[in-house]
Each structure stands twice: as C-alpha cells, then as structure tokens.
Structure 1
Amino acid sequence: MDDAALRDLLRRHAGLIHKIAYAYCRDATDREDVIQEIAVQLWRSRDRYDPRFRETTWIYRIALNVAISFHRRERRHRGGEPLDEHLLVVEPVEPGDDVRLLLGCIDALAPLDKALVLLYLDGNDHGSIAEVLGISTSNVGTKLGRIKQRLRAALAAAAHPPEESHGAR
C-alpha cells in the first residue's frame, strides 16, 4: 500500500479509529496520542496489508493492539489495580440513564472483553471478530455469552438496588 492509499484509508476510517481510541482513553490528550500511534503503526505495517482481506479487519487489529497496550501501560504507570473481571460494580441510576449505565459497564470490562464488545456492537460477525482478536469463532460465542450475562447482571443490580433493612419484619 503506498502513502496516498494509506492517507485515503485513514480518512475513510477515521471514525473507526477515533471510536477505538475513545473506548480505551477518556483523557483527550491520551486519546490523541493513541490515534497518532495507531496511524504510525498502520503506516509501519502498510506493506504487510493483504488486500484479499477486509481493510477494517486490518485496522481493527492494529488499532485495538495499540489501544490495549496503551491502556495497560497507563494502568501500570498510574499504579491502578486491574479490574475484577467477574464483578461489575455500578451505582444505582435514575430511569433514562440506561445508555450511560451500559457504557459504564462496558468500560469496566477487561481490555480484550471490551474489544470483543466493540467489534460486536459494530456489527461484525463471529468469524470477523475471531480473525481480529486471534481467537476461535466458538470462543467468540462463548466469551460473548458470558459478557452478556455479566452485563445483564450488572444492569439488573443497578436497576434494583438492594433495599436497606430498617429492622422491621
């Protein structure tokens, strides 16, 4: 792929690149750094792109690798503890906050689980997701099912918080 073709590809898929960067970086400066690093990595690997495969698969794979690596570096640098993958703790919300709650639950997922959800929500089939993440198609289905269960449980817990006992029976 020559430089002009890469520039065109970056222009056509800028939304995808920005979406991935936003999923892993809430800070605007960090997000811009990740977007730049994705562009650099795409440029460095442009000669390895195989046109027999979809451009978006190649972009997803590189962009997710860059974003996840950045997320892990930042977590180590800032001394953050990894999230417990099996517990999604969310605050109770008011009606109408469903989207914000769901996004918060997705944001609390482990980086690879978040990547899987991102690919799924973008309408990719299990085969495409497997190709991007380097896992089997059946593993995609299994992981997705487990993630959906965890998200449902977290959403249900937020919608119906346990009532405090006041000693009355």
Structure 2
Amino acid sequence: MPDPAPTARDEQSRRYEEAVAAFGPALDRLAVAYERDAERRKDLLQDIHFALWRSLATFDSRCALRTWVYRVAHNVAASHALRDHRRARECVGLDALEAASMAFDEDTMSSRLVEQLDDDRRRAQLAALIAQLIAPDRQLLLLYLEELNATAIGEVMGLSPANVATKIHRLKRVLARRALADRVPTPSQAAPVALPTAATSPSAPK
C-alpha cells in the first residue's frame, strides 16, 4: 500500500523541524539578547518555539521561511520585553542614544575604531548597546548582526529598506562614538603632566 498522504499537522511539524535546523542557533542568540536571567530565558525560548510551531500551520510560502521565523520570534521577544516593566523603563530609543553620544564629533571619529577594538571589548560594547535599546531598535540591530540585509530586515519589520539602512548607519555611528569614548582617558586616567624642575629646565639666560 502506498504511504498515506501527509496531513496538515505532518506538514506543520516538517516545516518546524526545517526552521529549527536552519535558525535554531539564531533563536538561541535572540533569547540571550532579550533576557539576562537564565530561567526566564528558558521560558522565553520555549515561548518562541511554541509560537513558531503554531504559526507554521498558516505558513503559505508567500514570504521566505527565514522572514517568517524572525518575524514570529521577534514579536514574541518584544512582547516578553514589554511585560518586564522595570526593564522596559531602563531602555531608550535610538534618538536618545544618539543624542547622548553627540559629544564625540563625527569629524574626529575614525570609521575603523570599532574594528580596532579587541573581540572581547567589541562584544561588550555591542551587548551594552543591545541591552539599552527599546524593542524595535533592538530587533533591527539583532537582525543586522544575523547578517540580514536591509531588504530582508525590512520584510521582517515592515520597514522600507531605506529606513532600515538609515537606522543601521545611526546605530553603527553610536557604537563608533562609544568606542571613541572608551579610548579617550578621563582626567583621573590621564597621565599627570610633569612640571619642569630646576634640574630639567633650561638654564635662564645670564
């Protein structure tokens, strides 16, 4: 007898397994970025996987599977972040972060500062920036770090590619300014200026 035709539930499970095989590590990274507490992070990841499996019952291939997975996952993660009222109050938008970094003028800033930082410092800078961002801006940066281009990010977030590209540029500028700030010594860190002494000063003219 021929094998029975796959049911809708079979197809849903097949799509879910395909999605997890392709994007499971990205979902893990997403959960880490949105939740610092280990137990709550496990709950968030479970919620993401359940929402993804349930949503795939209606997936009709009108968009790429990657777009669908990221859209569902980020919606769940953003809802999780909004439920944490204390944490949400600590987050700010890109406009506020950009304004706070304006002390470091773009003309004095090397475009390669971020690349010049060691890997640990760069990861710390990124983690700090991600933790401060409100959900939409955080979502955009995380998708960019997953190497999605502006068009793909726009499909996930419902933004135009031009809007996405502008926001990415602004986020990179904030990060570069922070890198510059990290390299500029504070007054307490700066080496003291040695005043001339009699032994080091040139002799006064007779």
TM-score, normalised with respect to structure 1: 0.81
Q: How does 1:122-141 map to 2 (within 5 A)?
A: 122-141=146-165
Pair member with larger Rg: 2
Aligned length: 161
Q: Does 1:73 align with 2:55?
A: no
Structure 2 CA distance for partners of 1:28 and 1:128, relative to 1, 3 Å: same
Query: What CA distance in whole angstroms lies between the structure 2 residues aligned with 1:147 and 1:84?
Result: 13
Query: What CA distance in whole angstroms lies between the structure 1 residues aligned with 2:148 and 2:159?
Result: 14
Aligned-pair identity in percent equals 33
Q: How does 1:29-68 map to 2 (within 5 A)?
A: 29-68=39-78
Structure 2 CA distance for partners of 1:57 and 1:155, relative to 1, 3 Å: same
Once the two structures are superposed, what CA deviation does each residue of 1:84-143 show, in whole Å capped at 9, x if it has no partner? 332388xxxxx7442222322232222221211111121111100000111111110111
Amino acid at match of 1:23: A
Structure 1: which 4+ aligned runs deviate by more than 3 Å? none
Query: What CA distance in whole angstroms lies between the structure 2 residues aligned with 1:140 and 1:124?
Result: 11
Query: What CA distance in whole angstroms lies between the structure 2 residues aligned with 1:9 and 1:142?
Result: 29
Shift of residue 161, structure 1, vs aligned partner: 4.0
Amino acid at match of 2:167: K
State whether residues 21 and 34 of structure 1, in contact with CA within 8 Å, keep that contact through their aligned partners in structure 2: yes
Amino acid at match of 2:28: H
Query: Cα RMSD (Å) of the superposition?
Result: 2.6
> Which position in structure 1 is the counterpart of 2:121?
98
Q: Does 1:143 align with 2:138?
A: no
Query: What CA distance in whole angstroms lies between the structure 2 residues aligned with 1:79 and 1:108?
Result: 9
Structure 2 CA distance for partners of 1:109 and 1:43, relative to 1, 3 Å: same
> Which position in structure 2 is the counterpart of 1:16?
26
Query: What CA distance in whole angstroms lies between the structure 1 residues aligned with 2:74 and 2:156?
Result: 9
Gaps of 5+ in 2: 1-10, 101-116, 193-206
